Amino acid sequence: MKNDRIIELYEELTSILGRRKILTDKQKMNFYQTGIRVGFGEALMVVFPENLKELWKVLIACISFDKVIIIQAANTGLTGGSTPFGSDYDRDIVIINTLHIDQLIMLDNGFQVIAFPGTTLYQLEDNLLPLGRGPHSVIGSSCIGASVIGGVCNNSGGNLVNRGPAYTELSLFAQLNHNGNLELVNHLGIQLGNSPEEILDNLQSKNFDIKNVVPSSRLASDIDYQNRVRDVNANSPARFNADKRRLFESSGCAGKIAVFAVRLDTFPLPKKQQVFFVGTNQPRNLTNLRKKILTEHSHLPDMGEYMHRSYFDGADKYCKDNFIFIKYFGTKSLPKIIFIKRLIDNFANQIDFLPNHLTDKILQFISTLMPDHLPKRIRYFRDNFEHYMLFLSSDKSINLINELLEKETFKSDDYQFIKCTESEGKDALLHRYVAGSAPARFQKINSSSSGGLIPLDVALPRNCDSWYQILPQEILCQMAESFQMGHFLCMVFHWDFVVKDGVDIDQLKEKILKILDSNNAKYPAEHNVGHLYKAEKDLEDFYRKLDPTNTFNSGIGKTSKKKNYL
């Protein structure tokens, strides 16, 4: 605490929260100041409100003391958007962690839900399961413990093509007006009172008729997404973060407002599911499959996931420990395990003779001693093909996919497919889910001989047939390792590169982005700009409209970090 104003803020926050819910110790704060993949910056303090009214009061206090506010839940963002970034802010930063505010309210027997700031996707999925419903997204290892509201704020999801990315026009949020006054906006479509305190109390205590919430004309999901994906001749992507169609208040806000609750649609769970695994050495075969499915099939598969051998091998070698842990122990304890792992690494980094990334290196060594974790038939595909497709079909789409694959493989010996057993299907899906951790683990294990990461989250035009040859060899030869996979039906790809030691990473990335621009691609597609991407003008204008004083998440999308964007 350096001066009287900081002490005053601390005492005011203490009067709201109590001392145990405020962190000021730099070492303890490190976890919340450091992004899961990229990003670090020092904050003045980290605070932990436990209900909506406390969150409202904390916001008012921070604003009255002219602080930058970063609202954070599980801190699982892949582009550094949920932590400070650098040291060039013109004001102190207060991180507000909302994970304790994790209430979930079911509406209309689970056909819709209201999620609070700390409500996680796992929590939502578990609560909907007995009702035969599911959320918009089924998450993988790259976003363990991710919050529902975080997904809405970042337009996340979309790999489930029958559901679409997270989107709603029904939310409760606080924003600053041009005069610097905080306003609470109730667009949940539920009458909760007039004053902020009354609204927040009534929502938190469920003091409204939950069984008779009036249906709203506003959207609570992206109902047009499936039609957009089917337009395979369009010279524009199916989805991307700067798409003006899906920037609305909390949706796509990237933390530029304080979101207290969102109201979302849920989806019926299928009665039957089937996983198909396809292998080929000719990527044009996958393009042909995609076009036939999207233009000829009356019912789409739930997922169509592409993996190049690079990501297959990356997940096989560097994510084996994650795979085995999730398979045998489930996912619920993973957020705590990751938290403990990062605490150990933070402690080890203070001791000179211990290596950086200690836990990753230990886990990597242990995983090499474990037996092969993949089914034999899936392993066969790895050894014989370079490109793979994983289709998760349900109900009426199962026969459509099966008939198409039988017909196409009969006409050509360029690729094969298997109709997975239940255990093979679960393992194939899990292998795909854990893959997102491979680039970071590779870079940590090989840090002495490689440079930094270039994670690219790219939406290609729906009519792009050359998706597998966008980047030339002169770019690829500068990589120590390349990892490629994607949500194939919507042409969204994750190209994650670890550059060779000594390569100018900023210069190389600039060249890559110019190539993507020339192909009419958009980036990022689903992980939002964070601090890695420059926000397009439409997106920056959206941010400025939401937060004219630049108090919330300043600097996001490489915008100004200064007050009032000066």
Is the omega angle on the peptide bond into residue 524 within 30 degrees of 0, that is, cis? yes
Task: Please name the helix (run of DSSP H) or strand (run of DSSP E) that holds residue 11, with its range, or none.
Answer: helix 4-17
What local confidence, expressed as pLDDT, does residue 163 receive?
94
- Looking at the DSSP bridge assignments, the partners of residue 275 are 392
Distance CA 540, CA 538 (A): 6
pLDDT at 1: 45
**How many other C-beta atoms lie within 10 A of the C-beta of residue 534?**
14
Q: Residue with structure tokens 């994970």?
A: 99
* Strands lying side by side in the sheet with 182-187: 104-107, 112-115, 258-265, 171-176, 182-187
pLDDT at 144: 61
- Which position has the token pair 């680039």? 439
What is the spatial distance between Cα 344 and Cα 353, in angstroms, rounded to a whole number? 15
* Digit-coded pLDDT (tens) for 54-95: 999 999 999 999 999 999 998 888 899 999 999 999 999 999
Listed residue (434, 327, 309) closest to 371, CA to CA: 327
The candidate with the shortest Cα–Cα distance to 549, out of 193, 67, 143, 82, is 67
Name 475's Cβ contacts closer than 8 Å, sequence gap at least 6. 508, 511, 512, 515
Quick check: 427 and 312 in contact, CB under 8 A?
no
Q: Which of 253, 288, 314, 304 is nearest to 542 (CA)?
A: 253
Q: Per-residue pLDDT tens for 327-359?
A: 998 877 777 777 788 778 877 777 877 888 899
- pLDDT profile of the chain (566 residues), mean per 10: 83 97 94 89 98 98 98 90 96 97 96 96 93 84 73 90 95 96 98 97 95 93 95 97 96 98 97 97 96 97 97 97 89 74 78 84 94 97 97 98 91 88 97 92 88 93 96 95 96 96 94 97 94 95 98 98 96
Let me know: does 518 contact 189? Beta carbons within 8 Å.
no
Helices (H), 114-157: 121-128, 148-153
Are 70 and 83 within 8 A, CB to CB?
yes
Q: How many other CB atoms are found less than 10 A from the CB of residue 361?
A: 15
The DSSP-derived string for 193-240 is -SSHHHHHHHHHTT-S-GGGPPP-SS-SS-TTHHHHHH-TT-SS-S--
Distance CA 44, CA 99 (A): 19
First to last CA, the chain: 27
**Per-residue pLDDT at 499:** 95
Task: Answer whether 504's CB lies under 8 Å from 510's CB.
Answer: no
Q: What is the pTM of this model?
A: 0.93
Residue 14 neighbours by CB under 8 Å, 6+ apart: 22
Contacts of 416 (CB under 8 A, 6+ apart): 278, 279, 280, 381, 384, 385, 409
CA–CA separation, 167 and 450 (whole Å): 38
* DSSP H or E stretch at residue 336: helix 334-348
pLDDT at 146: 87
- Which residues of 319-401 form beta strands (DSSP E)? 387-394
What is the C-alpha separation between 407 and 404, in angstroms, rounded?
Answer: 5
pLDDT digits (tens, 9 = 90+) for 253-300: 999 999 999 999 999 999 999 999 999 999 999 999 999 999 999 999
Q: Which residues contact 360 (CB under 8 A, 6 or more apart)?
A: 345, 441, 444, 445
Q: Which two tokens stand for residue 325?
A: 């842990």
